[in-house]
């Protein structure tokens, strides 16, 4: 059992295109009337728009925010806050503007509204990092968290592609480290996974089309979620290294995160294998560190500290500034930009996938088009993610070919494959679980034969085969409990050895299968034999698959029913013997608790006065639903 503590900040988030227009409303919501706009040199347009929107609520504008929040810049801005008698702070821009807003807020107690224009994520964290002549100091406190965040995707449309990439990877770093933080918890883990998925999906779109509003929106959402991760767990070696490199050597913040993230992930991979698995899955790569490095390269991002301005002579000094095992070697590969060890990069297959999807774009039936195109996406992604070899794919084709060749009127190997992969039960749940007042359905199975022989009430369908006699007495009713007369009820089961009649070449005709019709009271009665557990056929491809994966091939003992009546939905289901074997591991995943019933030993005189010493009986009421028009 995992133990954890989770604390979330109370910040208000307003997200959507055009929300910057609501800035005056948010200032008034805080009960303020004199807002100071804080920004850096790179966001003059957005800051000017914010100032214009504020109108009479604008107290002034400080445009000198700088990277890593130098304390002397904060002191200069603080003088302006006091001279203008500002009662509210509005930071517009990236992490530098947000950081200055936090530094001013924590010194004055003034509320802060953050309006990010990058993917920094700092706006939703209670963390402040400041630099002076000695380096960078980071602290965390609830009062540092901005009171309100306005995410306006329009402000990110002008963000240059190189900065979009590094800012996006910077946000991704918050989520990655949250997955293996000492404070990791289910909530943060779910946010981190979603953040990485959104950012990894958005950045290629932004690189291809910087004006792609949907991609920009996904990136901003991912940055927000990643920022929450940063604000709720302790960060580890990655952030420790990046803060040191930025604060001590003046390296640019987001590009430094971009260079270091794959290298630190490789450094941490052995200690956090599950986190790396989650990241690889979210990135859709086979190996998280090397896969992310390849993605950054494809997006045109930086990969070495050398290109950011660090010199080789500074590596030893930098290594002495942080207490991390193997830090000198880690900084060395980051300085050179060496690709982390891992599988070779897979060629970009998105163009091929796009061509295939486009070929189905003209399908006249929308449902057919949706099903086929989604199947293509899943298959292409599966092929890439697992790096399928030609030999593996040829084996898969041969496996499916042999599966089809085994199908006949008396054997359905494809149904068996669907059953053992759980697909049949999945479709069954989707198709038949929306009427909870009816009897649960179950899989049809591969041994149903249409048109079983009709039998009169009380008939014995065992045909003289050995087994413990079973008397079945079932009712067919509607959902209100009223009897359904004239319902056609097909029943079938295996023999005492676990074989259906169609599997027995010596069997001359149908046995242990029949068709009954319910009487005026909705009742169906018949004799059979007590069902036994049995193995599904293991002499074909499905049996080979089960053997190769270490799975057993047994089904829990059951009796099949198919019930049809005019005006009602057909019900395909099974009754399972309570206490029978394999109820908790049925190989086709067909058991449902509501269908496990007591096949009790019979007592007294057997029905119809049959002369048997030992027999069992089962009683059950099947509820079927009316067919909706």
405 φ/ψ angles, rounded to the nearest 5 degrees? -65, -25
Number of domains in the chain: 4
One domain for residues 283 and 309: yes
**Which helix (DSSP H) or strand (DSSP E) does residue 378 occupy?**
helix 366-385
User: Is 485:518 a contact under the CB 8 Å cutoff?
Assistant: yes
Of 150, 39, 18, the residue nearest 98 (C-alpha): 39
DSSP string, 45-95: HHHHHHHHHHGGGEEEEEEEE-TT-BHHHHHHHHHHHHHHT--EEEEEESH
Tokens of 448: 């149903």
C-alpha 69/C-alpha 129 separation (Å) is 7
Confirm whether 365 is domain-assigned: yes
Confirm whether 514 is domain-assigned: yes
Block mean pLDDT (10 aa), the chain, length 629: 59 90 95 95 89 96 92 95 96 93 95 94 88 84 91 93 95 94 90 96 93 94 92 87 91 95 95 94 92 94 96 94 92 95 73 88 92 91 85 94 90 90 86 78 90 95 93 96 97 92 85 96 96 90 93 95 95 95 93 95 85 91 89
Residues forming a β-bridge with 475: 523, 621
User: Is 246:256 a contact under the CB 8 Å cutoff?
Assistant: yes
33 φ/ψ angles, rounded to the nearest 5 degrees? -145, -5
Of 175, 182, 180, 185, the residue nearest 4 (C-alpha): 185
- Identify the pLDDT of residue 19: 93
One domain for residues 185 and 67: no
Helices 541-548 and 390-405, interaxial angle, to 10°?
130
3-state secondary structure of 112: strand
One domain for residues 480 and 516: yes
One domain for residues 178 and 147: no
Measured from the Cβ of residue 78, the count of other Cβ atoms closer than 10 Å reads 17
Q: What is the extent of the structural domain holding 229?
A: 161-336
Tokens of 69: 């929040």
One domain for residues 151 and 165: no
One domain for residues 477 and 557: yes
Measured from the Cβ of residue 348, the count of other Cβ atoms closer than 10 Å reads 12
One domain for residues 328 and 357: no
One domain for residues 122 and 199: no
Helices 327-336 and 237-249, interaxial angle, to 10°?
70
- Identify the pLDDT of residue 1: 38
Confirm whether 592 is domain-assigned: yes
One domain for residues 475 and 602: yes
One domain for residues 490 and 373: no
Tokens of 433: 């679980």
Could you tell me how far CA 459 lies from the centroid of its own chain?
Answer: 52
Tell me the CA distances in angstroms from 595 to 471, 580, 622, one per residue in order. 17, 12, 10
- Identify the pLDDT of residue 44: 86
Chosen domain end from 303, 336, 369: 336
Measured from the Cβ of residue 174, the count of other Cβ atoms closer than 10 Å reads 32
Confirm whether 341 is domain-assigned: no
- Identify the pLDDT of residue 582: 96
C-alpha 155/C-alpha 223 separation (Å) is 14
80 φ/ψ angles, rounded to the nearest 5 degrees? -70, -40
Task: Quote the DSSP letter at residue 72.
Answer: H
User: Is 490:452 a contact under the CB 8 Å cutoff?
Assistant: yes
Q: What is the CATH number of the domain that holds 244?
A: 1.20.1090.10
Confirm whether 150 is domain-assigned: yes
- Identify the pLDDT of residue 219: 96
593 φ/ψ angles, rounded to the nearest 5 degrees? -55, -40
One domain for residues 380 and 437: no
């Amino acid at each position: 059992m995992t133990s954890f503590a989770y604390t979330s900040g109370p910040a208000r988030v307003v997200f959507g295109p055009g929300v910057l227009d609501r800035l005056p409303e948010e200032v008034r919501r805080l009960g303020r009337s004199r807002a100071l706009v804080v920004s850096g040199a790179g966001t003059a347009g957005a800051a000017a728009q914010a100032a214009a929107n504020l109108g009479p609520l604008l107290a002034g504008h400080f445009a000198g925010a700088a990277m890593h929040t130098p304390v002397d810049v904060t002191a200069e801005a603080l003088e302006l806050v006091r001279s203008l008698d500002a009662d509210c702070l509005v930071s517009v821009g990236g992490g530098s503007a947000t950081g200055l807003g936090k530094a001013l807020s924590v010194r004055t107690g003034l509320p802060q509204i953050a309006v990010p224009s990058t993917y920094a994520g700092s706006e939703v964290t209670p963390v402040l990092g400041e630099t002076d002549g000695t380096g960078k100091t980071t602290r965390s406190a609830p009062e540092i968290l901005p009171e309100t965040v306005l995410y306006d995707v329009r402000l990110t449309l002008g963000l240059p592609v190189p900065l979009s990439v590094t800012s996006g990877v910077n946000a991704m770093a918050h989520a990655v480290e949250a997955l293996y933080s000492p404070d990791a918890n289910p909530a943060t883990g779910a946010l981190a996974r979603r953040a990485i998925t959104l950012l990894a999906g958005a950045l290629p779109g932004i690189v291809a089309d910087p004006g792609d509003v949907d991609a920009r929106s996904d990136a901003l959402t991912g940055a927000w979620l990643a920022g929450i991760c940063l604000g709720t767990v302790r960060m580890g070696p990655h952030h420790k290294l990046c803060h040191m490199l930025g604060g001590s050597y003046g390296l640019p913040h987001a590009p430094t995160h971009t260079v270091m993230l794959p290298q630190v992930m490789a450094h941490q991979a052995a200690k956090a294998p599950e986190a790396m698995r989650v990241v690889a899955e979210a990135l859709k790569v086979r190996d998280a560190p090397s896969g992310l490095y390849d993605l950054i390269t494809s997006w045109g991002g930086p990969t070495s500290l050398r290109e950011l301005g660090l010199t080789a002579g500074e590596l030893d000094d930098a290594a002495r500034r942080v207490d991390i095992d193997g830090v000198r070697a880690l900084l060395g590969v980051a300085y050179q930009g060496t690709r982390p060890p891992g599988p070779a990069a897979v060629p970009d297959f998105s163009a091929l996938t796009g061509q295939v999807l486009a070929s189905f774009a003209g399908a006249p039936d929308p449902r057919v088009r949706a099903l086929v195109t989604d199947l293509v996406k899943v298959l292409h992604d599966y092929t890439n993610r697992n790096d399928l070899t030609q030999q593996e794919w040829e084996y898969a084709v041969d496996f499916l070919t042999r599966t089809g060749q085994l199908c006949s009127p008396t054997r359905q190997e494809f149904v068996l494959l669907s059953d053992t992969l759980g697909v049949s039960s999945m479709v069954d749940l989707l198709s038949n679980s929306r009427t909870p007042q009816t009897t649960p359905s179950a899989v049809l199975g591969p041994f149903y034969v249409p048109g079983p022989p009709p039998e009169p009430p009380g008939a014995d369908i065992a045909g003289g085969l050995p087994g413990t006699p079973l008397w079945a007495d079932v009712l067919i009713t509607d959902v209100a409990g009223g009897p359904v007369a004239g319902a056609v009820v097909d029943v079938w089961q295996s023999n005492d050895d676990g074989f259906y009649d169609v599997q027995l070449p010596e069997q001359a005709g149908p046995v242990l299968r029949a068709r009954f019709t319910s009487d005026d009271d909705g009742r169906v009665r018949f004799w059979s034999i007590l069902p036994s557990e049995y193995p599904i056929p293991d002499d074909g491809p499905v049996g080979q698959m089960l053997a190769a994966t270490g799975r057993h091939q047994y089904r829990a003992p059951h009796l099949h029913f198919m019930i049809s009546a005019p005006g009602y939905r057909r019900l395909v289901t099974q009754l399972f013997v309570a206490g029978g074997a394999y109820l908790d591991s049925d190989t086709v995943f067909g058991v449902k608790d509501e269908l496990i019933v007591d096949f009790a030993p019979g007592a007294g005189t057997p029905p119809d006065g049959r002369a048997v010493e030992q027999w069992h009986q089962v009683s059950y009421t099947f509820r079927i639903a009316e067919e909706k028009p």
